[in-house]
Amino acid sequence: MKPLTALSQDLADGVTTSRQLVEQALEAIESSSEGTRAFIAVHAEKARTVADAQDSMRKGGAALGPYAGIPMSVKDLYDVKGEVSAAGSTVLAGSAPAEADAPTIGRCRQAGFVFMGRTNMTEFAYSGLGLNPHHGTPRSPWDRETGRIPGGSSSGSAVSVADGMAAVTLGTDTGGSCRIPAAFNGITGFKPTASRVPLDGIVPLAFSLDSAGPMGLSVDCCAIVDAILAGDAISIPETADAKTLHFAVPKTLVFDGVDDTVAAAFDRAVHTLSEAGIRITEIPLSELADLPQINAKGGFAAAEAYSWHRDLLAQQGDGYDPRVGGRIVKGADQTADDYIRLLEARRHMIDETDRATAPFDALLFPTVAIVAPAIADVDNEETYGPTNLLCLRNTSVGNFLDRCSISLPCHREGEAPVGLMLTGARGEDAPLLRAAKAVETILAPLRRA
């Protein structure tokens, strides 16, 4: 698949049709080793029917949106009318189909995207690794022979774009669930400021942290879908002038345990950005050192997930992935005082970090501290928990601080995928996307080297 802007132009010029794009996506699902693991359900005939309708209207001169007819995949958390939102689980698989589209789905449908099917994910979105014992775990495109984790929780979504099974995809991001899979699959993933995109009709994890965002092949892809999700006017971001940008690299917490491959890719990228005129300043941002202790009892995710899952766990707890259910029940250990202190700690850290980072356009650091580990190496009790925490550590900073954040690939072609993350201020999504587009443009020659 090409990026959205190129596909839109091809459709407008008659170079391709929606039906051809859908057949291309279906062929990719069929031919990829990961098709049956990336998707929980593929709606081939529905997609063909919608594609044919789009082509007929376009041929008849109807005024269609610029992205009408382009294949999109949807994470198994979103309500799509007539489909079951099982959230990657089996305990919800027998639930009644959704009676209406989630607002975000309705907006994508109105824009003319063709839904290819529901993508696999970590059960109930509660892990950054992407493993799923019920539906299988899709493998990252890198080193498929070994079998590397796809990242989570939006695992199948990211793999579907990386393997050309869809042009763009819808994910969610509570602690990094768009950006971690984007980093591990070599694509781009965007977490908006949470309040910009409605969460109605999406199975929640933690309402204090949840956000809904896109993944795609470029910053433009993410910006286009993000605008649609938010109900904003669609526009292609301008590229920020590199010489006007000033990024801060925080030295507290986010570089602990960074592996050599990630460190090398990040350092090359920083050097290239600096050579292009972007000012980059290292800052302590020592406030981040408090995050592990603040979240020691599971933080908002455990407390709020337990509130939603309590009755379901009591009735069908044996049906949960024990690595998910076992973590959710720990939310029962939090007291009202713990939760109130958590709220106070978050408010204080947001205020302090806002002041410390006010002079900068964005924070800059690796999306994930390590390259994608082998599935076999983390699919056990000993390594699963520590690896999950490490993968989530950097991305969760943006969720806790209620900021917008984007992961861009910064590795060279053929190397292990590595994500570079820009995190902007709360509500400053548009400036962040313009800055990200500048970074993407500057890094493009480096990535082809």
Q: How far apart are CA 424 and CA 362, in angstroms?
A: 5
140 catalytically annotated: no
With contact defined as beta carbons under 8 Å apart, do 85 and 149 qualify?
no
Single-letter code of the amino acid located at 240:
A
Residue length, the chain?
A: 449
DSSP letter at 425 equals -
Q: How far apart are CA 108 and CA 286, in angstroms?
A: 41
Q: How far apart are CA 384 and CA 386, in angstroms?
A: 6
Backbone angles phi, psi at 362, to 5 degrees: -170, 160
Residues 6+ apart with CB under 8 A from 62: none
With contact defined as beta carbons under 8 Å apart, do 180 and 152 qualify?
yes
DSSP letter at 214 equals E
Say how many C-beta atoms besides its own lie within 10 A of residue 56's C-beta.
Answer: 12
Q: How far apart are CA 391 and CA 141, in angstroms?
A: 18
Q: How far apart are CA 102 and CA 212, in angstroms?
A: 11
Strands 419-423 and 362-366: antiparallel
Q: How far apart are CA 141 and CA 404, in angstroms?
A: 27
Q: Which two tokens stand for residue 212?
A: 């809904």
297 catalytically annotated: no
The residue from 8, 18, 73, 75 that is catalytic is 75
With contact defined as beta carbons under 8 Å apart, do 18 and 54 qualify?
yes
Q: CA 431 → CA 5, 81, 265, 389, distances in Å? A: 20, 34, 25, 30
The residue from 32, 153, 160, 218 that is catalytic is 153
Question: Could you tell me where the beta strands, DSSP code E, fall in 43-145?
Answer: 71-75, 114-119
Residue 6's Cβ-count burial label (10 Å; 0-12, 13-18, 19+) is middle
The residue from 8, 177, 211, 396 that is catalytic is 177
Residue whose C-alpha is closest to residue 126's, from 296, 302, 373, 297: 302
177 catalytically annotated: yes
Q: Where are the alpha helices (DSSP H) in 254-362?
A: 260-275, 291-294, 299-316, 322-328, 336-357
User: 4-13 and 18-31 helices cross at what angle (nearest 10)?
Assistant: 130
Q: CA 67 → CA 126, 168, 231, distances in Å? A: 32, 11, 15
Q: How far apart are CA 430 and CA 342, in angstroms?
A: 29
Bridge partners of residue 406, in order along the sequence = 190, 422
Q: Which residues are catalytic?
A: 75, 153, 177
